[in-house]
């Protein structure tokens, strides 16, 4: 199970997502914070506070992009001895590595090119995983969620932060206007890849959020699944244990 929405409709979703993020890597951080009005930083902090209670030592950050989540975790003293970030876009990882080097956090955060559906780690390896705004880009959602569960230690917590679709007036209307009209226009100006910022709102619309996503988590074996709506349902934190 995955979403059929793709950035360019030329090849497989996986290849296209990698190409798209390579294209927009140089402007991604700026646009990400701009589009969420900086609220994405608060959402990440909330997710990290939840994980911190687990006292994880080895943490996996899937679809790490430019390593924003991993770096925020270090900033907030998550306490992990190692955070390994994995992403399919080398362009995004290059930006992330520069940011990590500037902070001198190379010994804690390691970035690797990798695919969420074929993680290069043994079973029962991590004390927790995070994935922020990445699962809707998976080619096969069930396979990706199952693979992340495989590398978790028994009882360990997985945390997914993802955009969702607010359903109440007037937030729903404002969200749709912002996402479908304003975002693609600004994205095109700054990133020079018009299609990328049309794809991003389309991928949110196509993503099975709320209960539907919890059903996917349960289906591949997560237990104690639950969700926390953020900012009126614009985003959601999903939790599940192995």
Q: Where in the sequence is the domain holding 36, given as residue range(s)?
A: 13-164+207-241
CA 139 to the chain's CA centroid: 14
Confidence of residue 207 (pLDDT cuts 50, 70, 90): very high
What does the pLDDT average to over 19-24? Answer: 92
Provide the pLDDT confidence category of residue 3 given band limits of 50, 70 and 90.
Answer: low
Residue 8 bridge partners (DSSP): none
Instruction: Give the residue-averaged pLDDT of 203-229.
Output: 96
Q: Is residue 2 assigned to a domain?
A: no
Q: Give the start-end residues of each E strand in 81-146.
A: 82-87, 109-113, 126-132
Q: Is residue 46 part of a domain?
A: yes
In a domain? residue 115: yes
Tell whether 201 is covered by a domain.
no
> Which neighbouring-strand residues pair with 162?
236
Residue 170 lies in a domain: no
Q: Is residue 231 part of a domain?
A: yes
pLDDT band at 32 (very low <50, low <70, confident <90, very high): confident
pLDDT in tens, 102-126: 999 999 999 999 999 999 999 999 9
pLDDT by residue (tens digit) across 38-77? 899 999 999 999 999 999 999 999 999 999 999 999 999 9
Q: Tell me if 186 is assigned to some domain.
A: no
202 domain residue, yes or no: no
The DSSP output letter for 220 is: T
**pLDDT tens-digit series, residues 156-187:** 999 999 999 988 888 889 888 888 888 888 88
Output the domain CATH number for residue 69: 3.40.50.150
Number of domains comprising the chain: 1
pLDDT of 1 higher than 50: no
């Amino acid at each position: 199970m995955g979403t059929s929405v793709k950035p360019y409709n030329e090849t497989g979703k996986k290849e296209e997502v990698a190409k798209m993020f390579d294209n927009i890597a140089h402007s991604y951080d700026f646009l990400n914070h701009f589009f969420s009005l900086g609220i994405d930083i608060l959402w990440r902090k909330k997710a990290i506070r939840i994980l911190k209670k687990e006292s994880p030592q080895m943490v996996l950050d899937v679809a790490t992009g430019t390593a924003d989540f991993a770096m925020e975790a270090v900033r907030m003293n998550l306490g992990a001895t190692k955070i390994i970030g994995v992403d399919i876009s080398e362009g995004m990882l290059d930006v992330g590595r520069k940011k990590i080097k500037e902070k001198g956090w190379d010994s804690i955060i390691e970035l690797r090119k990798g695919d969420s559906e074929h993680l290069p780690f043994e079973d029962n390896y991590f004390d927790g995983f995070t994935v922020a705004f990445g699962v809707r880009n998976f080619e096969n959602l069930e396979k990706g969620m199952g693979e992340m569960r495989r590398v978790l230690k028994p009882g360990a917590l997985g945390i997914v932060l993802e955009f969702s679709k607010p359903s109440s007036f007037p937030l729903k209307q404002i969200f749709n206007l912002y996402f479908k009209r304003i975002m693609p226009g600004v994205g095109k100006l700054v990133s020079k890849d018009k299609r990328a910022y049309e794809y991003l709102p389309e991928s949110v619309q196509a993503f099975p959020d709320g209960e539907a996503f919890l059903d996917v988590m349960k289906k591949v074996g997560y237990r104690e699944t639950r969700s926390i709506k953020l900012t009126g349902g614009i985003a959601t934190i999903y939790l599940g244990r192995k």
